[in-house]
Structure 1
Amino acid sequence: MAPFWLLKKLPGYMPPEGRWRHLAEPYDGDEVVVLDCETSCFDKKKGELLSVAAVRVKGGEIRLSEALDLTINSNAVTDPNAVRVHYLRREDRQQGVAVSEAIEKVLDFIGNRPICGFYIEYDRAILNRYIKQLHNFQLPNRFIEVSEIYVRQKRKYIPELQLDLTFEGLAKDLKVPIIERHTAMGDVISTALMYIKLTHFNQRS
């Protein structure tokens, strides 16, 4: 994933403006936002946003009381394989919020904090597609991939070590519970616990 300083140099880069100008400011706090999206199919260029969840992590604390958990009011035709994963049928989405409202809530929740996730490049692509359509910019935040931290730590001393890089594989090795797998909030909580295990606890030892 290209860092923001490099993105700013690419042709066609559009910085956040107006209400969202602060997203491009350097972040000097100590929180990370862990985020996950569920979509109508598994194609990041076509998948429509069905739900999104996010929590802020500060040190070893997941701030669940402030969590964001949104279902989108969407009539998107959903790939049957995706439904079998996240169980979000059309009737389940009727009481959700408009996608434009969801995107604004996500941007307000994230601010200019780093964004963390498992296969976060997919979530980044989905959100950026909507943000560009609605507000003509893309997320300038720093992105953190949990599996990349895991690989760096595991292969630090044994480079050829074979690793199970599935969500379930990381959870098992890190002894993290899998909570309501393939719900946005469940995956966010499990991913946040992975991140804490890989960062906060190591810093204390």
Structure 2
Amino acid sequence: MSLFAWLRPALPALDDDLRLRLANLAKPSALSVLSLREQRWVVLDLETSGLNLNRDQVLSIGAVAIEDGAIDFSQQFERTLHRPAQKTTPSVLIHGLGPDALAAGCDPAGALLDLMEFIGDSPVLAFHAPFDQRMLARALKDSLGYRLQHPFFDVAELAPMLNPDTVLREASLDDWVARFGLQVDERHNASADAQVTAELALILLSQARRQQLDSPLQLNLRLQQWRRRKAHSHGL
């Protein structure tokens, strides 16, 4: 056996059904010139055992689709993953995921495959998206040997970019929810957080259209420009 074979991580063992479904997953679409209303989006939230990107685990997943410019309540996703060895930590308790819930959770490989089928070829929106993107990418690689390539948009970036006159220092999701007067009945579980993030995203997508940003491609180009200006202003 070659040295490279030893260095290459072993692929997870999957049954025939999972392998077939994995092979049939939709490929992510390139950012398009479709209008923001025409584009289907998936809003994602992950609850994790902590904030360490290399050590902590995804515990639960919540997602909802935005289609035709509105939240489609017929397209909602929720899974708690089977993590019986997960210790009870302050982070876990915040999410209300006790040992019983984690022991009764879904097989991670099946749950993550369900999620990718739900996402399809759509771009993903999340609040602090780089964290969710990296945690999800590692979970998919570990459980399915799948490489995540879907484009992610960070709602925590879109909000200040589209609202330059609003000054919120290190603004949280709760800060932006309060800024726009959104009604929140529940927080700190994946489904509820995905829902409120989707409500905030709808406001921001509407603002983007009024600012002549009417496609995912245009929105991404503006985000890149905004990041460069921000980095320049901080002397980076």
Shared fold (TM-score greater than 0.5)?
Answer: yes
Distance 1:59 1:200 in 2: 12
Distance 2:24 2:85 in 1: 29
Contact map agreement 1:49 1:99 (CA 8 A) in 2: no
Shift of 1:201: 5.7
Distance 2:73 2:60 in 1: 17
What code does the residue aligned with 1:26 have? A
Give the direction of change, closer, same or farther, for the CA distance of 1:76–1:42 in structure 2 (3 Å limit).
farther
The match for 1:102 among 111, 135, 146 is: 111
Alignment match, 1:33: 42
Shift of 1:59: 3.8
Residues 34-183 of structure 1 mapped to structure 2, 5 A cutoff: 34-78=43-87, 80-155=89-164, 158=165, 162-164=167-169, 165-183=171-189
Contact map agreement 2:108 2:143 (CA 8 A) in 1: no
What code does the residue aligned with 1:105 have? D
SS in 2 for 1:54: strand
Shift of 1:136: 3.1
Shift of 1:103: 0.7
SS in 1 for 2:74: helix
Does residue 19 of structure 1 match 2:28? no
SS in 2 for 1:65: strand
User: Could you tell me the TM-score, scaled by structure 1's length?
Assistant: 0.81
User: Could you tell me the TM-score, scaled by structure 2's length?
Assistant: 0.71
SS in 1 for 2:42: strand
Alignment match, 1:199: 205
Distance 1:34 1:116 in 2: 5
Contact map agreement 1:179 1:187 (CA 8 A) in 2: no
Task: Identify unmatched segments of 5+ residues in structure 1.
Answer: 1-16
Indicate the larger mover: 32-41 or 126-135.
126-135
Distance 1:101 1:86 in 2: 22
Alignment match, 1:185: 191
Aligned-pair identity in percent equals 24
Shift of 1:204: 6.4
Distance 1:137 1:72 in 2: 17
Task: Identify unmatched segments of 5+ residues in structure 2.
Answer: 1-21, 33-37, 212-236
SS in 1 for 2:64: strand
SS in 2 for 1:57: strand
Distance 1:76 1:45 in 2: 17
How many residue pairs are counted as aligned between the two chains? Answer: 184
Shift of 1:193: 0.3
Contact map agreement 1:48 1:76 (CA 8 A) in 2: no
